[in-house]
Structure 1
């Protein structure tokens, strides 16, 4: 089974949650437009001033998605 990678965008400050939630809308649109059917998007609130938006992709899809969307970082999913 192919590994999944979580591509992450970090948002900090008092508006971090709102910005991350808005960013997730764009990630969902990208996912649908590019037929990333095994992908998932989401938002995780890490603290009141730090929230992330993420897109999980298969390892084979990662280079194209990374180059198109420029995430801040990535990590292997559990």
Structure 2
């Protein structure tokens, strides 16, 4: 089983939820264009002024994706 990494972008402010949702749209586009192995994305509204968008990649793909998209942070992905 290969390790998966969840790359995370944080958004804060009154428009955080809308921005995170829109960012996920662009992550999906990136996956198609770059032919990324996994197709796991999402966004989560944590409260009225904080939301995240995320993308899950194989560990072997993490560095090029990280360098291209500059996520704010990452963590080991567990399903």
Q: Establish whether TM, by shorter chain, passes 0.5.
A: yes
Aligned structure 1 segments of 4 or more residues deviating by more than 6 angstroms: none
How many residues align structurally? Answer: 78
- TM-score normalised per structure 1: 0.96
Any unmatched runs of 5+ in structure 2?
none
| Larger mean Cα displacement after TM superposition, 68-77 or 30-39 | 30-39
Please state which structure has a larger fraction of its residues in helix. Answer: 2
Q: Is the 8 A contact 1:24 1:54 kept in 2?
A: yes
Q: Report how far residue 26 of structure 1 moved.
A: 0.6
1:40 aligns with 2:48: no
Structure 2 CA distance for aligned equivalents of residues 10 and 69 of structure 1: 13
1:17 aligns with 2:12: no
- TM-score normalised per structure 2: 0.94
Over aligned residues, Cα RMSD in angstroms?
A: 0.8
